[in-house]
Amino acid sequence: MPTPKEILQQYWKFQSFRPLQAEIIQSVLDGKDTLALLPTGGGKSICFQIPSLCQEGICIVVSPLIALMKDQVEQLKKRNITAVAIYSGMRYQDIDRELDNCVYGNIKFLYLSPERLSTELARQRIAKMNVNLIAVDEAHSISQWGYDFRPSYLEIATIRELHPKVPVLALTATATDVVKEDIQDKLEFKERNLFQKSFERKNLSYVVLKEANKLNALLNIITKVKGSSIVYARSRKRTQDIAIFLQRNKIHADFYHAGLSPDSRSAKQDAWVQNKKRVIVSTNAFGMGIDKPDVRTVVHMDLPDSLEAYFQEAGRAGRDEEKAYAVLLYDEVDKKRLEHAYEQAFPDMKTIRQVYRALGSYLQLAVGGGIGKSYDFDIGAFIKTFQLEVLKTYNCLKILEQSGWLILSESVFLPATLRVKVDREKLYDYQLRNKKLDRVIKKTLQLYQGVFNYPVRIKESQLAYALKIPVKELVQSLNKLQQDGILQYSPQKDQPQLIFLKERVPVDNLVIDQVLFKFRKERFGKNIKAAIKYAEKNSCRSKQLLSYFGEINAPLCGQCDVCLGRNKPEVEEATFERYKQKIFLLLKKENLSALEIKEAFSPKRHEQVLTTLNFLLEEGLVKVLEDQKLKWVGD
């Protein structure tokens, strides 16, 4: 079999591995259970893709993010590597066919959502597969100590019973010390085995700005720092409002959120990736799996409710190792909003049961039914139908999810499919008797090959355009053909999926583990306090983040807003000139770091020195080099 480096060069055209990738890959090839912590953009996917390609058999990849699964499958296919994805919302016959291909075909990667992994159908087929590796992406989701706990992840370890000799590779970008231990326990590692790259990002400057007018502050940042940018906002409406504000100020910006159509999301994402749009304003639905290394700024318009989420999103800046900025715009309203969110996040049992009862009615689900089934779920229509409060309803669904009753996934796009169920003779006879549908049948046969043999993907809009009729009229015709037994037609859909993990029970029998409920409430409160502390504490931003993730003795970064003195008092003009002259003389001799310059002054002068240095950087008299040393470039 080829070596890992040969695989890397053959399929990815890279000449060498990034830090820790080679060691992680070798650990997997040695058959060891492995936990890999690599920051956003650290190349986690290669760590399971390459060892699997070095061996016979298939790699099972567990991921909770449907969009990310689809993206990785497409990327592998572009490299002529066979891969499939199975997730909630797919039609049974499609799942059945893809699993068969994994058993009997030449598929190298099977991507599964965690709830699909534990179904009887999946378990039966996985038992027959020649599995060489089980990869668990977003592995922090298995830990109740983590910020994104998903109970369905707890079932992953049961798959090890089917292939006890196959190693597990767990991957995540963010995990505290307790989460690292929990991941290895829950996945039943045979022995502790952790590979962790430091979370330090030497090229990334973390900045917190307390601003009353966030829009003007954002415009100032985007104007000053050239290049591509991501702006994160909390609501869908706000993404659009901010994008319009930037456009009015002659910034090429667009907005993105999960409520847009698949074609629209894809077009917006592609335009930004290809630099046709400079700024993308998005909810947290954007960013996962997008390989754009040259993002110069990531700006958060709202204080996040966890440092894990913030660190991951901020880490999308500067993946090319060039200078980049992660900016958090913060005000007192953010703090109050987070504190209010904490109060609303854990409704009482009466409210939870009310929402659970409404779900059963909305989905017309009988008591005792629903287990393992996936339903299209429009949460907006659900709330409107039962006149529920938006925030309380959402939080009730989250509690039901964290308690293992159900899963609410992101939108699933499934293209329309079509198959002719009758033979050609019967079809011709039907056409003679149904002149109105004859044209639709002829055009379908003309455009789509193989419709007599298997379900083929169609585009209703494309077919309607060819027929010069409205899409609505075409859909009516296809439904009529299905009713008459001529076609098997599955229309296109793009809806979030709600999956019942347990059968529906009478509402009085709905039980929530109160010990875990209390634990999660305490954890959420601590996460919020940590986020507020990060914004308000006047100490090195990078050191705060690294300390949160267990790197206790991390050095001062020398480049965040605190280290550069942006939050320090102004310096008197005469004092400024003296400090400026001394900094000039120091840097003319050699390039120095901000900390080295600071140490050249007495300790009581440090704050004012950093303020002076910050001004010199902003005025372009001093620049930061790749090694984080400072160079005098002024006159």
What is the per-residue pLDDT across 475-513, written as a single tens digit (0 to 9) for each? 999 999 999 999 999 887 777 888 898 999 999 999 998
pLDDT at 123: 93
- Which ranges of 233-344 would DSSP assign to H, the alpha helix? 236-248, 262-273, 307-314, 332-344
> What pLDDT band is residue 568 in, cutting at 50, 70 and 90?
very low
Could you confirm whether domain 339-414+496-512 is CATH 1.10.405?
no
Whether 396 shows a pLDDT value over 60: the answer reads yes
d(CA 191, CA 184): 8
Topology of domain 4-196 in CATH is: Rossmann fold (3.40.50)
pLDDT at residue number 542: 94
- pTM for the model: 0.75
pLDDT tier, 413 (very low <50, low <70, confident <90, very high otherwise)? low
> What is the CATH code for 573-632?
1.10.10
Question: Are the C-beta atoms of residues 221 and 340 closer than 8 Å to each other?
Answer: no
Burial 434-473 (b: 16+ CB within 10 A, else e): beebeebbebbeeebeebeeebbebbbeebbeebebebee
What local confidence, expressed as pLDDT, does residue 65 receive? 80
Q: Is the pLDDT score of 287 beyond 70?
A: no
- What whole-number distance in Å separates Cα of residue 188 and Cα of residue 169? 11
Q: Measure the CA–CA gap between 478 and 482, rounded to whole angstroms.
A: 6
Question: Strand order in 487-490's β-sheet?
Answer: 456-458, 416-420, 487-490
Residue-wise pLDDT for 355-381, tens only, equals 999 999 999 999 999 888 888 888 888
Report the alpha-carbon distance of residue 543 to residue 554 in Å, rounded: 6
| 414 Cβ contact partners less than 8 Å away, ≥ 6 residues apart | 89, 90, 91, 490, 492, 493, 494
Tokens of residue 212, six digits:
């009353």
pLDDT averaged over every residue in the chain? 89
CATH assignment of 204-330+525-547, among 3.40.50.300, 3.30.499.10, 3.30.390.50, 3.30.300.30: 3.40.50.300
State the sign of the Cα–Cα–Cα–Cα dihedral 291, 297, 301, 307: positive
Which string of b and e fits 393-412 if b means at least 16 CB within 10 Å? bbbbbebbbbbbbbbbbebb
- Decide if 139 contacts 172 (C-beta within 8 A): yes
The whole-number pLDDT of residue 39 equals 78
Are 298 and 311 in contact by the 8 Å Cβ rule? The answer is no
With a pLDDT cut of 90, the percent of the chain lying above it is: 56
The pLDDT of residue 566 is above 60: no
pLDDT at 567: 46
- Tens digit of pLDDT for each residue in 55-72? 999 999 999 887 788 889
Mean pLDDT calculated for residue range 290-316: 91
